[in-house]
């Protein structure tokens, strides 16, 4: 699995194409995570308490497209997005109709189905770190997303392409926003809502390591 940087494009088309690109081309990365990025004991004073992490060797590597049900086709959904008979490709970003289409698309992304059979599976998934809360030295939970910039610089992908990562009590991740990482743990089919974005899955992490 390769990581790549998602290219810049117009705001409206970015929302539509970013998810399609991430589903078909895989992850996109913007540089390597710091060597200090790791899971270790949370520190009481917010300082780095170590860079150790527990062994996560018995987990199956998972691709992001495995989180999407086989019968869910976002391309088909996009075909039906139009306003007054005008498609997205024919509407400039500054046109108010573009905002209408974006709103409809976000509603579809919120309804994206998950794969129930993945519940309880030990998996290893690569992606980018988006903290649920910013300004913390010890990150105890974060969103894992498939392409760089998701949820902050560009709109979020469908909920079946966002994973809520939680760490064991007393442990924390010390790194930065959009670090490229591998996360190993037990996957749960469980909805999570935050001000940043909603997730369709939760990953109970036992290991977070720099990518690759």
pLDDT digits (tens, 9 = 90+) for 60-112: 999 999 999 999 987 777 766 767 777 767 777 788 877 887 788 888 899 99
Contacts of 93 (CB under 8 A, 6+ apart): 10, 11, 12
Q: Is 152 inside a domain boundary?
A: yes
Q: Whole domain around residue 177: which residue ranges?
A: 11-69+112-210
pTM, 2 dp: 0.73
Q: Is 35 inside a domain boundary?
A: yes
Q: Is 133 inside a domain boundary?
A: yes
Q: Is 155 inside a domain boundary?
A: yes
Q: Is 76 inside a domain boundary?
A: no
pLDDT of residue 53: 37
> Count of domains in the chain?
1
Average pLDDT over residues 10-38: 43
Residue length of the chain:
212
pLDDT of residue 163: 98
Bridge partners of 128?
145, 180
Whether residue 169 is predicted with pLDDT greater than 70 in this model: the reply is yes
Q: Is 156 inside a domain boundary?
A: yes
Q: Is 144 inside a domain boundary?
A: yes
Q: Is 203 inside a domain boundary?
A: yes
Peptide bond into 212 cis (omega under 30): yes
Helices 11-25 and 96-110 pack at an angle, to 10 degrees, of: 30
CATH assignment at residue 173: 2.40.50.870
């Amino acid at each position: 699995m390769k990581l790549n940087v998602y290219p810049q494009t117009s705001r409206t088309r970015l929302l539509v194409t970013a998810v399609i690109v991430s589903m078909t081309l895989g992850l996109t990365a913007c540089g390597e995570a710091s060597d200090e990025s790791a899971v270790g004991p949370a520190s009481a004073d917010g300082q780095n308490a170590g860079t150790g992490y527990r062994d996560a060797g018995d987990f199956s590597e998972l691709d992001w497209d495995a989180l999407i049900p086989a019968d869910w086709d976002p391309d088909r959904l996009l075909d039906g997005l139009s306003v007054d008979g005008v498609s997205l490709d024919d509407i400039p970003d500054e046109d108010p109709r573009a905002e209408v289409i974006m709103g409809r698309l976000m509603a579809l992304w919120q309804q994206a189905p998950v794969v129930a059979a993945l519940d309880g599976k030990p998996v290893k998934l690569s992606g980018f770190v988006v903290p649920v809360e910013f300004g913390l030295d010890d990150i105890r939970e974060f969103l894992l997303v498939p392409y760089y910039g998701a949820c902050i610089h560009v709109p979020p992908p469908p909920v079946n392409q966002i994973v809520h990562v939680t760490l064991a009590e007393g442990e924390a991740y010390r790194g930065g926003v959009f670090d490229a990482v591998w996360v190993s743990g037990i996957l749960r089919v469980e909805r999570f809502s935050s001000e940043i974005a909603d997730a369709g899955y939760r990953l109970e992490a036992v290991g977070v390591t720099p990518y690759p």
